[in-house]
């Protein structure tokens, strides 16, 4: 049962990632595209945790934590670029 | 492994994935930048929280000792998601994205833009 639940949840998150990619392609303005990338980071964290559950391995947290850190930093850098035209002034 | 553990973990996983799918549908379907900002920032943190709690419960029982590493990711996301949403809203305000025509009190966004950039009168 746990295997089927994990596969079902992975399918739902893959659909969510496809919707985010669609918004990333058609997004009318640049902030829309940044939201899409930010949501894709969060969805990929969930997908990596599900991979760890499926394989029964505990060695995926570090990569999920790394993706969370770099996702926040890249979102902040993109927003800073839109706000000021420069990242490090 | 007991079957009660399987039921709890499966329900948490499916619930979290459904919430994340709802957030992404909101991101894809809503008409306006600020409504699109509101959908995934709430749903994604709750969905990831559910999935991380499921992983925490599963590995705590499976390994026979308390596994609290996922709390780190949950706390990090809970702290940084509002900051990222705030910066995105500020960037959208600066970028002067179009609001939907039936948004109420649209003059407030002009006022907020002038408050943010007092030089462009």
Tell me the two tokens of residue B36.
């699109």
Distance from CA of B73 to the nearest CA of A (A): 6
The pLDDT, as a whole number, for residue A2 is: 85
Question: Which residues 101-120 on chain B approach chain A with CB closer than 8 angstroms?
Answer: none
Residue B2 clears pLDDT 70, i.e. is over it: no
- In this complex, the residue of B17, B28, B97 whose CB is nearest that of residue A29 is B97
Q: What ipTM is given for this predicted complex?
A: 0.89
Reading the block at residue B89, the tokens are 């809203």
pLDDT value of position B99 = 81
Looking at residue B23, its pLDDT comes to 92
Is residue B109 over pLDDT 80? Answer: no
Span B56-76, average pLDDT: 87
Q: What is the pTM of this model?
A: 0.87
Identify the pLDDT of residue B121: 60
- Report the distance separating Cα B108 and Cα B38, nearest Å: 18
Smallest CA–CA separation between A81 and chain B, in Å?
Answer: 9
| B54 touching chain A per CB within 8 A | yes
Would you say B92 and B34 are in contact if contact means Cβ atoms under 8 Å apart?
yes
Report yes or no: A61 at the B interface, CB cutoff 8 Å. Answer: yes
Q: Which residue of B has its CA nearest to A22?
A: B28
Give me the mean pLDDT over the B20-43 stretch. 89
Given pLDDT bands bounded at 50, 70 and 90, which one contains residue B51?
very high
Using the Cα atoms of residue A1, residue B78, residue B41 and residue A30 in order, give the sign of their dihedral. Answer: negative
Q: State the Cα–Cα distance between residues A39 and A42, nearest whole angstrom.
A: 5
Q: Give the span between the Cα atoms of A36 and A16, in whole angstroms.
A: 11
**Is residue B1 scored above 60 in pLDDT?**
no
**Residue A13 in contact with partner chain B when CB distance is under 8 A:** yes
pLDDT at B10: 92
Min CA distance, A49 vs chain B (Å)? Answer: 7
Residue A16, Cα to own-chain centre: how many angstroms?
10
Assess contact for A53 and B58: CB atoms under 8 A.
Answer: yes
CA–CA distances in Å: residue B107 to residues A58, B37, B92, B112: 52, 20, 16, 9
pLDDT, averaged across chain B: 86
Q: How far apart are CA A5 and CA B25, in angstroms?
A: 21
* Residue that wins the pLDDT comparison between B8 and B114: B8
Residue B111 CB neighbours (<10 A): 10
Give yes or no for residue B53 having a pLDDT over 80. yes
CB contact under 8 A, A83 and B90: yes
pLDDT tens by residue, chain A, 89 residues: 888 999 999 999 999 999 999 999 997 888 999 999 999 999 999 999 999 999 988 888 889 999 999 999 999 999 999 888 877 77
- The predicted structure's pLDDT at residue A88: 78
Q: In Å, how far are A80, B12, B113 from B52, measured between CA atoms?
A: 30, 9, 38
Residue B64 has pLDDT above 90, yes or no: no
Q: CA–CA separation, B63 vs B55, rounded Å?
A: 12
Q: Which two tokens stand for residue B13?
A: 């996983």
């Amino acid at each position: 049962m746990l295997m089927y639940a994990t596969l079902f949840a992975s399918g739902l998150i893959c659909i969510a990632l496809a919707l985010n990619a669609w918004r990333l392609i058609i997004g009318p303005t640049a902030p829309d595209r940044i939201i899409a990338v930010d949501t894709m980071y969060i969805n990929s964290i969930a997908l990596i945790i599900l991979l760890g559950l499926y394989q029964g391995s505990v060695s995926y947290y570090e990569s999920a934590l790394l993706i969370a850190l770099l996702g926040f930093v890249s979102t902040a850098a993109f927003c800073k670029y839109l706000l000021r035209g420069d990242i490090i002034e | 492994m007991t079957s009660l553990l399987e039921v709890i973990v499966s329900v948490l996983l499916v619930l979290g994935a459904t919430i994340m799918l709802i957030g992404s549908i909101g991101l894809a379907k809503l008409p306006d930048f600020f409504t699109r900002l509101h959908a995934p920032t709430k749903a994604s943190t709750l969905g990831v929280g559910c999935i991380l709690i499921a992983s925490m419960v599963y590995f705590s029982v499976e390994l026979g000792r308390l596994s609290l590493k996922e709390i780190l990711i949950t706390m990090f996301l809970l702290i940084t998601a509002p900051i990222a949403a705030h910066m995105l809203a500020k960037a959208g305000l600066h970028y002067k994205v179009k609001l939907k025509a039936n948004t109420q009190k649209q003059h407030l966004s002009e006022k907020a833009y002038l408050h943010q950039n007092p030089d462009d009168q």
